[in-house]
Amino acid sequence: MVNKISRKKKRQAKRFVGRKLVTQSNSKSSVSEQFRTLRTNINFSMPDQELKTILFTSAAQGEGKSTISANTAIVFAQAGKKVLLIDADMRKPTTHYTFNRMNATGLSNLLTRNWEIKDVIQKTDIEGLDLITSGPIPPNPAELLGSKTMDHVLEQLTGMYDLLLFDAPPVLNVTDAQILSHRCDGTIIVLHARKTEKDSVVKAKEALLSSQANIIGTVLNNFERQKDHYYHQYYGNVEAGT
Tens-place pLDDT, residues 180-200: 999 999 999 999 988 888 999
Domains recognised in the chain with CATH numbers: 2-235 (3.40.50.300)
pLDDT at 211 over 70: yes
- Cβ contact 94:58 at 8 Å: no
27-57 confidence digits (pLDDT tens): 888 889 999 999 999 999 888 788 999 999 9
Q: DSSP letters of 120-138? A: H-EE-SSTTEEEE---SPP
pLDDT at 233 over 50: no
